[in-house]
Chain A
């Protein structure tokens, strides 16, 4: 198993890991917080003071960012969960103690799903269907036909480009205590990644749609498709 891909600069920033495992736990927690809330200079300053051996808040922030790079690299390179993560980490950081490596392993594996969901679909983000509202209507008259009886199904499709549902839940952080500017930026981001579509169909097309989608689902469960997917993986 090869070591993880980290630049020399990132390795330099991670020299801060050569401490007691409880300090490393603090750094890992800061990295989690960074993923959700972004950088937190006050926290880094407090940590720098705590270390008291001439570490600057910038060095702490760089170490936190390097930890996130490590997390991404571990998730990217080590696709299968059966791979021995501790062995990989040991090879990447031969100078670190067992207890620190254990903390790092926990750090890398606990947020794996979160990072995996994000990076694997980060490059090409197609819309995902997340919800569907529907209404059954009977159109009884229009300008061009005064007497009619047309059954129409109107549907609203909620489409998001965000990678996965579970990530959205993780990202659904507490809104209280955020500045107006932050909330506005979050809403803008949400608007950019969401699209609602209003469409309609008739009952026979609806039946046709169900049949076609069931065919697709049945096809995906065939031995042939399973073999291919397993083979690729």
Chain B
């Protein structure tokens, strides 16, 4: 993430105890409540959080945020996103975050706001970061239909059995749009055997939880 591999002069001058936050991030945080006024700081933190939790979301443009000092505002946005990502990664709670920020000699109002917003959204931030990284397609939804053939190009008569079309998929967290992961067909016997296998997994999960 935003850990600076090299030691910049700014970091030497103002060392950060945990060593996690780069000089750029620290400088961005110091702008809050200073170069960026307290009301705009609040707005900037809210927007940065929204951007972290919902990268696809449309954020209402706030021209005044970038009107006077666009570079500082962008650096501060980056700093807030990085701070929250690192705090979540290392499992800090609100108090730990506050302690880390207090050592950086930031504006008191900005520290309060950063800590409050983090505390209020800690769960969402953890859930968001659980989605990052590599994993296999995650199934959260299952759809089915029962189909019986009447006639086909290769056979004049029905097979006389109902088949199940099973579609496994999930919903995109950003848009809610459904995505198919895999689709297959099976007969009643095969479906029963699939249910039995899934129940077997569930039973093992239950045993694990009890143990």
Complex Cα spacing A80 to B158, Å: 9
Cα distance, A143 to B130, chains bound together (Å): 10
**B interface size (C-beta, 8 A):** 58
- A45 CB to closest chain B CB (Å) equals 33
- Provide the A146-162 mask, 1 if CB < 8 A to any CB of B, else 0: 11101111110101000
Residues of A within 8 A of B78 (CB): none
Task: For the complex, count residues of A whose C-beta is within 8 A of B.
Answer: 61
Within 8 A of B (CB), among A206-233: 206-210, 212-214, 216-217, 219-221, 225, 228-230, 232-233
User: Does B205 touch A at the CB level, under 8 Å?
Assistant: yes
> Do B205 and A143 touch (CB < 8 A)?
no
Q: Per DSSP, are chain A's interface residues mostly helix, strand or loop, or mixed?
A: mixed
**Residues 180-221 (chain A) with a chain B CB within 8 angstroms:** 197-203, 205-210, 212-214, 216-217, 219-221
Check B132 for interface membership: any CB of A closer than 8 A.
yes
Q: Contacts of A205 on B, CB cut-off 8 Å?
A: 138-141
Residue contact B182 to A197, C-beta cutoff 8 Å: yes
Q: Does B156 contact A (CB under 8 A)?
A: yes
Q: Does B91 contact A (CB under 8 A)?
A: yes
Binds A, one of B55-63, B111-119, B159-167: B159-167
In the bound assembly, the distance between CA atoms of A217 and B168 in angstroms comes to 16
The answer to whether A217 and B191 have CB atoms under 8 Å apart is yes
Per the 8 Å Cβ criterion, residues 121-159 of B in contact with A are 126, 129-130, 132-133, 135-142, 144, 146, 148-150, 152-159
Q: With A120-B159, A145-B126, A201-B138 known to touch, is A210 a contact of B195 (CB < 8 Å)? A: yes
Number of A-B contacts (CB under 8 A): 175
Q: Which of B67-75, B82-90, B100-108 contacts A (4 or more CB under 8 A)?
A: B82-90
Q: Does A87 sit at the interface, judged by CB under 8 A?
A: no
Q: Which residues of B contact A142 (CB under 8 A)?
A: 132-133
Instruction: Decide: A225 and B162 in contact? CB cutoff 8 A.
Output: yes
B178 interfacial contact with A, CB 8 Å:
no
Q: Which chain B residues border A208 with CB–CB below 8 Å?
A: 140-142
The minimal Cβ–Cβ distance linking B116 to chain A, given in whole angstroms, is 22
Which listed segment binds A: B4-12, B40-48, B196-204? Answer: B196-204
The 4 closest A-B pairs by CB, nearest first: A79-B157, A233-B160, A144-B132, A216-B144
Which residue numbers of B lie inside 8 Å of A, CB to CB? Answer: 85, 88-91, 126, 129-130, 132-133, 135-142, 144, 146, 148-150, 152-162, 164-166, 168, 181-186, 188, 190-192, 194-195, 197-199, 201-202, 204-205, 208
6 residue pairs bridging A and B, Cβ less than 8 Å apart? A159-B184, A206-B201, A210-B202, A212-B142, A229-B148, A229-B161
